[in-house]
Amino acid sequence: VIESKRAGKGFRDGLMWFCDNCNHKLYEVYFDLNDIEKDFLPHFKHFYNSIELRTCDKCGTVMEADPRFVSE
């Protein structure tokens, strides 16, 4: 994670996940960031609850779901 200090709100931010096996990009999303504690969570949940997004289309490795973000 690389984070820089920002002044104010309303910045464009993004998240990317990469395959643990071959480092191929699995998924990326960009969004308006107003509150880091609230705005990241839906994107983490979306990624970790999708086996399709966590599956590498290059080598087939499936990234393990982070239990902090997986719906029961």
Percent of the chain with pLDDT over 70: 85
Whole-angstrom distance, CA of residue 57 vs CA of residue 72: 26
pLDDT beyond 60 at 1: no
If we measure between CA atoms, which residue out of 69, 63, 66, 52 comes closest to residue 23? Answer: 63
pLDDT tens sequence across 39-49: 999 999 999 99
Predicted local confidence at residue 4, as pLDDT: 63
> Residue 34 has what pLDDT?
86
Q: Please state the rounded mean pLDDT for residues 13-35.
A: 95
Contact 24, 57 (CB under 8 A): yes
Q: What's the length of the chain?
A: 72
Domain ranges of the chain: 11-54
| Tokens matching residue 37 | 């504690």
